[in-house]
């Protein structure tokens, strides 16, 4: 195989109760990445379409993660990357994760798959580190493994997939303001009162139990964040109203998508997710602010190959 084109999807990290450890992979929205082998060793980013991003491999996260992989792997060729960004950087739906995970997934395929998808997570995390000064694996694990994913310990490379209840659907509203993960992490406090730790871990356990037992009521009761959301939500226009109206329209729960500014709502069934989208639109209609709305099922497969030759 000399060339591969892949679709690297968007993702939602945290899902309210699992800061830095829970993630879910979305459908339809994502980056398209083409990687081709070259005779000259090393990595080059030939072009980036859709967004104005650097093609410097020490700056562009796709280059950073690719180099992390190649620094640990013997190969006798180089790689040329083209990225068509479908996800806006700083949107909170895993833009850097899609590019970081996408480039290592594609290179791994081109060199005969020496790494499992789980093993690629540590390389993709280097892209996250470059983008946000933080090595969180929640988005890249979801993109590479697909479905709902859990990060038990990234130092130990311990990640796993969770069950996906068949009817889960997401509505995501992306207010078009850029909120850098670095800035959004800066408002998070380093210490957590024990009572909040108890509430958050109780919700996390119950949420995961709800995924496995397909208990939508339990899932609904558990989509809560008593630690991070109160600190970050003030950075997002009309967050409380969006949350209130989404739940009123039938969502199981609603919270900040990753580090924001996108807001997600989780529903049972696409028709409800569509109603939630309408409710979200109504909240934003009088604001002088552009936004996008995405409705998505859970993408259980993660990154997909579009073609190869």
* Residues within the interface to ligand HSE (CB under 6 A): 13-14, 19-20, 136, 138-139, 181, 185, 258-259
Residue 26, SS3? strand
Q: Is 91 in contact with 180 (CB distance < 8 Å)?
A: no
Cβ contacts of 75 within 8 Å, gap of 6 or more: 41, 111
Q: Is the Cβ of residue 27 or residue 138 nearer to ligand HSE in the bound state?
A: 138
Task: Say whether 181 is catalytic.
Answer: yes
Given the residues 149, 181, 245, 272, the one annotated as active site: 181
Report the C-alpha gap between 81 and 66 in whole angstroms: 10
Residue nearest to ligand HSE (CB): 258
Q: Is the Cβ of residue 14 or residue 103 nearer to ligand HSE in the bound state?
A: 14
Q: Is the Cβ of residue 272 or residue 299 nearer to ligand HSE in the bound state?
A: 299
Q: Could you tell me the smallest distance in angstroms from the CB atom of residue 128 to ligand HSE?
A: 8
Task: Say whether 128 is catalytic.
Answer: yes
Given the residues 32, 128, 229, 245, the one annotated as active site: 128
Two structure tokens written together for 204: 């996390």
What's the DSSP call for residue 259?
A: T
Q: Could you tell me the smallest distance in angstroms from the CB atom of residue 212 to ligand HSE?
A: 22
Cβ contacts of 190 within 8 Å, gap of 6 or more: none
Q: Is the Cβ of residue 99 or residue 181 nearer to ligand HSE in the bound state?
A: 181
Report the C-alpha gap between 20 and 137 in whole angstroms: 7
Q: Could you tell me the smallest distance in angstroms from the CB atom of residue 173 to ligand HSE?
A: 16
Q: Could you tell me the smallest distance in angstroms from the CB atom of residue 28 to ligand HSE?
A: 19
Report the C-alpha gap between 192 and 195 in whole angstroms: 8
Q: Is the Cβ of residue 15 or residue 252 nearer to ligand HSE in the bound state?
A: 15
Q: Is 280 in contact with 242 (CB distance < 8 Å)?
A: yes
Burial, 223: exposed, middle or buried (Cβ in 10 Å; 0-12, 13-18, 19+)?
buried
Q: Could you tell me the smallest distance in angstroms from the CB atom of residue 13 to ligand HSE?
A: 4
Report the C-alpha gap between 207 and 157 in whole angstroms: 23
Which residues does the annotation mark as catalytic?
128, 181
């Amino acid at each position: 195989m000399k060339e591969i084109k892949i679709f690297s999807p968007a993702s939602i990290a945290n899902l309210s109760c699992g800061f830095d450890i829970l993630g879910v992979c979305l459908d339809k929205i994502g980056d398209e990445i083409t990687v081709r082998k070259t005779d000259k060793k090393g990595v080059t980013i030939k072009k980036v379409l859709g967004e104005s991003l650097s093609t410097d491999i020490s700056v562009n996260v796709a280059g950073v993660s690719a180099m992390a992989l190649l620094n640990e792997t013997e190969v006798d060729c180089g790689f040329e990357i083209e990225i068509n960004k479908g996800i806006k950087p700083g949107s909170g739906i895993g833009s850097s994760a899609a590019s970081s995970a996408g480039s290592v997934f594609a290179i791994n395929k081109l060199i005969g798959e020496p790494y499992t998808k789980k093993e690629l997570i540590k390389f993709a995390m280097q892209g996250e580190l470059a983008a946000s000064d933080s090595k969180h694996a929640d988005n890249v694990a979801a993109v590479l493994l697909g479905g709902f994913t859990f990060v038990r310990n990234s130092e130990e490379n311990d990640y796993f997939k969770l069950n996906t209840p068949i009817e889960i659907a997401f509505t995501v509203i992306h207010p078009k303001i850029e909120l850098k993960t670095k800035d959004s992490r800066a408002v998070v406090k380093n210490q957590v009162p024990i009572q909040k730790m108890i509430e958050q871990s109780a919700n996390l356990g119950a949420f995961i139990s709800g995924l496995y037992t397909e208990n939508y009521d339990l899932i609904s009761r558990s989509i809560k964040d008593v630690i991070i959301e109160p600190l970050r939500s003030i950075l997002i226009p009309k967050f409380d109203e969006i949350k209130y109206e989404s739940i009123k329209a039938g969502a199981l729960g609603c919270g900040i998508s990753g580090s924001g500014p996108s807001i997600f709502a989780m529903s049972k069934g696409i028709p409800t997710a569509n109603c939630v989208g309408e409710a979200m639109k109504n909240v934003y209609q009088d604001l002088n602010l552009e936004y996008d709305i995405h409705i998505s099922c859970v993408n259980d497969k993660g990154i997909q190959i579009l073609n190869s030759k």
